[in-house]
Structure 1
Amino acid sequence: MKALTKANWALKVFAWRYIPLIGFCSPRIEVMDEHRLQVSIPHTWRTKNHLGSVYFGALAIGADLAGAFLVFQKAKRRGINANFAFKDVQGEFLMRPEARVHFTSQDGAIIDEMLDDSINSGQRVNRPVSVLVTCPALHGDKPMAIFKLTLSVKARAR
């Protein structure tokens, strides 16, 4: 099975088992490699607000996934246990996304450093990660929103 297909299945299982609200938004991993993760969320009755744009809660879910799902994947690949959460979030909303939205984080190297630092120190490590939100169908690469999230990771060898 291709890596992206496996990752999407892992996301579905994780969502429906632990955080059903994520599954309700039907996210899909579009791109995933060592440095970048791109997740999309459709523009449907489940994710739209009263103005017809993607609701703030759905945008937060997409930013959460793009900012942290690589921790899950990288920890699994390394055979380590990693607990992660967000300490804070800042969002700058630039335009209303009115079609499928894409959430892109290019902070894979930061996540690698966080896992290494946490394993070496035995402590929780906090670092900011960035997520760019776009709506390619309507606006190409023009940003709809920019999120900055402080990711908190505690990792240990199994």
Structure 2
Amino acid sequence: MKLTASKLNQFLLFKLPSAFICGVRVKAIDENKCAVSVKHRWINQNPFNSMYFAVQAMAAELSTGALVMFQIQKSGRKISMLVANNKSNFTKKATGRITFVCNDGHLIEKAIEETIATGEGQTFWMKSIATDEKGIQVSEMDFEWSVRIK
């Protein structure tokens, strides 16, 4: 079964309901790129009338993690995945529809090949950049993923 945006959104509903309720949705995914969108609303706001940082983190993590899931599924092996670290930089208030894009799918395949070959865990950093409807960057988040063959 191929991993698609609609299947990932179903996954959110049943496995990550807080992200689903806040409006986080996968818009597109392929082996190299994933786009996730969320609109600033009452349910996901902070006291400063912009999107709460944790909602941005959920969407950014999903844009990277969905690519990891995609590559794990493509490998056909049982591989565990875990966020080891993360870094964030917020440059503008997040209002309106915010889109998080990760273009780092190419980094995962090598790490998966290495963990299969050696049996040892591998780590790698992935970046998600968030822009508003005008194309202005509002935040940038980096996630260090760890993969290990089961």
TM (norm. structure 1) is 0.85
2:40–2:51 Cα contact (<8 Å) kept: yes
The answer for the alignment partner of 1:11 in structure 2 is 8
Matches within 5 A, 1:12-91: 12-91=9-88
CA RMSD of aligned residues (A): 1.7
Q: Which among 90, 94, 98 is matched to residue 93 of structure 1?
A: 90
Residues 47-99 of structure 1: per-residue CA shift (max 9 Å, x gap): 22222211111011011101111111222233222211111111011001111
Q: Are 1:143 and 2:137 counterparts?
A: yes
What is the number of equivalent residue pairs in this alignment? 149
2:127–2:143 Cα contact (<8 Å) kept: yes
Q: CA deviation at 1:17?
A: 2.9
For 1:155 and 1:73, how far apart are their aligned partners in 2?
15
- 1:130 maps to amino acid: K
Match of 2:43, SS? coil
Match of 1:80, SS? coil
Q: CA deviation at 1:14?
A: 2.2
The answer for the alignment partner of 1:155 in structure 2 is 149
Match of 1:104, SS? strand
In structure 2, stretches of 5+ residues that fail to align are none
The answer for the alignment partner of 1:122 in structure 2 is 119
In structure 1, stretches of 5+ residues that fail to align are none
- 1:76 maps to amino acid: Q
TM (norm. structure 2) is 0.89
